[in-house]
Amino acid sequence: MKRTNYLDISNIILQVKFIKSSNNIFVCTPDSLMEVLKNLDGYHNKGIVFIKQFDPAKNTFQRVSKKQIRAFCNWDTETDIYLNTHYYFK
């Protein structure tokens, strides 16, 4: 029986690319976005190149608006406040 590897699409999956980092692309869920940004975005407040969302229909990461990313996280007050003050979402 052939084993197929696949990405779990039951959750929203985000890809964050940073300008400077040892590994400059990170995959996370909206739950962990604030932690990723706090720990890895330290390049003079201009370290994020893009944030994309996984599209299971196309099996690729697609650009998504900043407003939509904030909507993914609006249920968590702490994350919403952090993103409201973060340079990337202004």
The percentage of residues in the chain with a pLDDT greater than 70, rounded to a whole number, is: 80
Residue 59: give the domain boundaries: 14-89
Of 11, 21, 4, the closest CA to residue 73 belongs to 11
Residue 50 has pLDDT above 60, yes or no: yes
Q: Return the C-alpha torsion angle 22, 24, 27, 30, nearest 10.
A: 110
Residue 34 has pLDDT above 80, yes or no: yes
pLDDT tens, position by position, 59-85? 899 999 999 999 888 788 898 898 888
82 found inside a domain: yes
pLDDT reported for residue 56 = 85
* Distance (Å, whole) CA 7 – CA 43: 30
Are residues 34 and 78 in contact, defined by beta-carbon separation less than 8 angstroms? yes
**Once rounded to an integer, what is the mean pLDDT over residues 27-48?**
80
9 found inside a domain: no
8 found inside a domain: no
Comparison of pLDDT for 26 and 65, the residue scoring more: 65
Total count of domains within the chain? 1
48 found inside a domain: yes
7 found inside a domain: no
**Which 8-state DSSP code applies to residue 68?**
H
